[in-house]
Amino acid sequence: MLSTTYLSLSLSSPLVASASPLTGKLDTLRQLEDAGAAAVVLPSVFEEQLQQETSFMDHFLDANTESLSEAQNFFPDPTLYEHKSDLALEKISAAKASLSIPVIASLNGSTPEGWSAFAKHIARAGADAIELNLYDIAADPSVSSSELEERQLNTVKEICNAIHIPVTVKIGPHYSALANMAQRFEQAGAAGLVMFNRFYQPDFHIESRTTSRKLGLSSSREMLLPMSWIAILRGQRTLDLAATTGVHEVDDVIKYLMAGANVVCSTSALLSHGPEKLTEFKQGLAHWLDENGYNDVDELRGCMRREFVDNPELFERANYIKLLSSYPG
């Protein structure tokens, strides 16, 4: 009843555990699988980490190029430059050896340089797919929207051309023509889109004039934007759509599936309530499907997508107009 596919992977349900501290440890990965996760996304390796590691290695390789090599300690201790990326690859291999569900690796960056080589390492480590997290803040006034978009598309193309496993792209909602970008990501080789990335902003301390970082968990209200866009894109694209943000109750899972999501990803609810929240999602979804006469999730998926409403061309503005005109006052 709950089985589905995502990125050509066979899943026991549409419930995926997103990247979080829970997916970074083998013991909690096993708990997530036991609780009902159909797939897991491991924590991201960041572009900045790879760049820093490359600079660090170059320093060691170049440091003694003018020295004599007779001394026993001429070469640095290899443990001094054990990379986080190496540890990430080890975690992929360990997760694959310990779990029976698909393991999705995560890369976080925005430029194409250097990604293809590391993506190959990820594929060799056993990952079933890669989630490319395009966390890119367009704060540089000298970079146009078209330049930023081309840079992201080139990143996707480079990775998709380098490896044989599927790539899904986790994006933010801040494109001026998001439907067009979804099309171009698909043309670049992406097998799916994850909607949406949550962008974290620093807070200010007014007395000390310093900034601080706060990790705020999502709320169900935040699902409205990705749900609307999934409903719009479901009928336009053949790539898979993963819903993320705001998944706290069974009703949230059902709504995302109605919009057209292939899978529904959860982080905040699992961090708040533990892996057992997935059991509640899974049992609740199965019960709701049975009570409402659905044989499986495929029958439910996309029943509320954009073109199924009376006036699809007014899908966006009609809601806006009705909402404002109905407000009392």
Determine, yes or no, domain membership for 260. Answer: yes
Report the number of distinct structural domains present in the chain.
Answer: 1
* H or E segment to which residue 42 belongs: strand 39-46
Question: Whole-model pTM above 0.75?
Answer: yes
Tokens encoding 236:
């336009």
Report the relative pairing of strands 192-195 and 203-205 from DSSP bridges.
unpaired
Where does the pLDDT of residue 116 fall: very low under 50, low under 70, confident under 90, or very high at 90 and above?
A: confident
Distance separating the N- and C-terminal Cα atoms of the chain: 47
Domain range for 316: 4-64+75-326
Cα(238)–Cα(317) distance, integer angstroms:
25
Of the candidates 224, 110, 227, 232, the one whose C-alpha atom is nearest the C-alpha of residue 171 is 110
Determine, yes or no, domain membership for 283. Answer: yes
Determine, yes or no, domain membership for 69. Answer: no
DSSP letters spanning 102-130: -EEEEEE-S--TTHHHHHHHHHHHT-SEE
Determine, yes or no, domain membership for 169. Answer: yes
44 DSSP 8-state letter: E
Cα(246)–Cα(226) distance, integer angstroms:
9
Say if CB 155 and CB 107 are below 8 A apart.
no
Say if CB 280 and CB 261 are below 8 A apart.
no
Q: CATH no. for residue 251?
A: 3.20.20.70
Where does the pLDDT of residue 52 fall: very low under 50, low under 70, confident under 90, or very high at 90 and above?
A: low
Tokens encoding 112:
């194409």
Where does the pLDDT of residue 51 fall: very low under 50, low under 70, confident under 90, or very high at 90 and above?
A: low
Determine, yes or no, domain membership for 70. Answer: no
Q: In this structure, which amino acid lies at residue 167? A: V
* Helix, coil or strand: residue 182: helix
* Region 154-182 average pLDDT: 95
Other beta carbons within 10 Å of 78: 8
Determine, yes or no, domain membership for 96. Answer: yes
Say if CB 197 and CB 170 are below 8 A apart.
yes
pLDDT at 145: 93
pLDDT exceeds cutoff 80 at 49 = no
Least confident of 80-84, 127-131, 138-142, 226-230: 80-84
Where does the pLDDT of residue 230 fall: very low under 50, low under 70, confident under 90, or very high at 90 and above?
A: very high
84-121 core/surface letters (b: 16 or more CB in 10 A; e: else): ebeebbebbeebbeebebbbbbbbbbbebeebbebbeb
Report the relative pairing of strands 9-11 and 4-6 from DSSP bridges.
antiparallel
Of the candidates 239, 111, 230, 256, the one whose C-alpha atom is nearest the C-alpha of residue 178 is 230
Where does the pLDDT of residue 48 fall: very low under 50, low under 70, confident under 90, or very high at 90 and above?
A: low
The mean predicted confidence, pLDDT, of the chain is 86
Of the candidates 128, 191, 131, 125, the one whose C-alpha atom is nearest the C-alpha of residue 165 is 128
What pLDDT digit, counting tens, does each position of 249-295 carry?
999 999 999 999 999 999 999 999 999 999 999 999 999 999 999 99
